[in-house]
Amino acid sequence: MRVFSLLLSANVLLNDALRIIITQGKNRKLTNVLKALQKDVAKGDSLSGAMAKHTKVFPEILVANVRVAEETGKLAEVLVDFTEYQEKFFELKRRIIQALRYPAIILIITFLVLVFMLFFLIPSFGSVFANMNTEMPELTRFLMDISRFFTDNGFYLSLVFIILIFVFLQLGKSKFIRENYIDIYLLKAPVLGDVFRYNLISRFALSMSTLLKGKVQINDAVIISGEISKNSVFKRELKLLNKKIIKGESFSKNIKNTIIFDQTFLQLVSAGEESAELDNVFNIISEYYTKEFDYRIETLTGLLEPILMIVIGLIVSVVLVAMYMPMFELVNFMGV
């Protein structure tokens, strides 16, 4: 998209710009879509109309911007703005993945350590203890019983685990469960709720800024920006908001009692409406909530990392102490 916008900025004709992009294409599916796009444009279709036929490749926000840009004659400028929007949007996603990566690795390592200890380490000590003529401590016996339970019922426990994952995945797909439990919890959960909400607001504001800058009507911008998330609560509130905007009511007036937008968002939008610079204000909002999101994520991961490391250390320590206690008692008994 960046190369395409640069070509149009250099006053290259639309059809020639598409042809150049096609010749440089390395993705076969995308190249085929671009060829279809060029064919439709050559027949006299508008670029936005041709793009609208390929919604899996060209998002609605891009189609809406291009449609307005064609009317205003500022296609190159709009595509440059959209490229910047796309880069910022992907950066937000990258930050989420990067923030979750380390805790996820620690959790996986913890799980693998537990599996190794329950199925291999503790049973190997069990065969040693069986030949020792001494009574095992309560902690050792307790861990041996747990290990025996898991090794004896490993197949059935794995089956139950797989079934539970399947059930949870199916429940997550249920419209009723998502709308009445999951989506609400994501917004109201302690600590995590704010992280999710800040990221949601940041992406919504970024989308609104791009659309309004492209001269898309605010009611259309609200609906299109609502598609940045699958959260049903978020979409439902935006649909109600959109109905009131169509009636002529202000944006800021109707977001006072929502669970999505807070007082800071309300004040900034209100200031944007008064100054008639909502596109710039939404860009400021996006940057503000992106920083808030980064801060919350860093704080959360900063707390999780030492907690997870302590948990792993405690698990390993308890198991090792439990396994070596009988040996120490045997040595003391023998008077060594």
pLDDT at position 180: 81
Q: SS3 sequence, the chain?
A: CHHHHHHHHCCCCHHHHHHHHHHHCCCHHHHHHHHHHHHHHHCCCCHHHHHCCCCCCCCHHHHHHHHHHHHHCCHHHHHHHHHHHHHHHHHHHHHHHHHHHHHHHHHHHHHHHHHHHHHHHHHHHHHHHHCCCCCCCHHHHHHHHHHHHHHHCHHHHHHHHHHHHHHHHHHHHCHHHHHHHHHHHHHHCCCHHHHHHHHHHHHHHHHHHHHHHCCCCHHHHHHHHHHHCCCHHHHHHHHHHHHHHHCCCCCHHHCCCCCCCCHHHHHHHHHHHHHCCHHHHHHHHHHHHHHHHHHHHHHHHHHHHHHHHHHHHHHHHHHHHHHHHHHHHHHHHHCC
Q: How far apart are CA 54 and CA 302, in angstroms?
A: 42
pLDDT at position 332: 60
Fold of 81-336: Receptor-associated Protein (1.20.81)
Give pLDDT tens digits along the chain (336 positions): 677 777 777 778 888 888 888 887 777 888 888 888 888 888 888 888 888 888 888 888 888 888 888 877 778 888 888 888 888 888 877 877 877 787 788 888 888 888 888 888 888 777 666 666 667 778 888 888 888 888 888 888 889 989 999 998 888 788 888 888 888 888 888 878 888 888 889 889 988 998 898 888 898 888 888 888 888 888 888 888 888 888 888 888 888 777 888 888 989 999 998 888 899 999 999 999 988 888 888 888 788 878 888 888 888 888 888 877 777 766 665 544
Domain ranges of the chain: 2-58, 81-336
The angle at the Cα of 154, spanning 149 to 157, to the nearest 5 degrees, equals 95
Around Cβ 1, how many Cβ atoms within 10 Å?
14
pLDDT at position 263: 87
Q: How far apart are CA 127 and CA 62, in angstroms?
A: 66
pLDDT at position 162: 92
pLDDT at position 281: 93
Q: How far apart are CA 209 and CA 65, in angstroms?
A: 11
pLDDT at position 55: 82
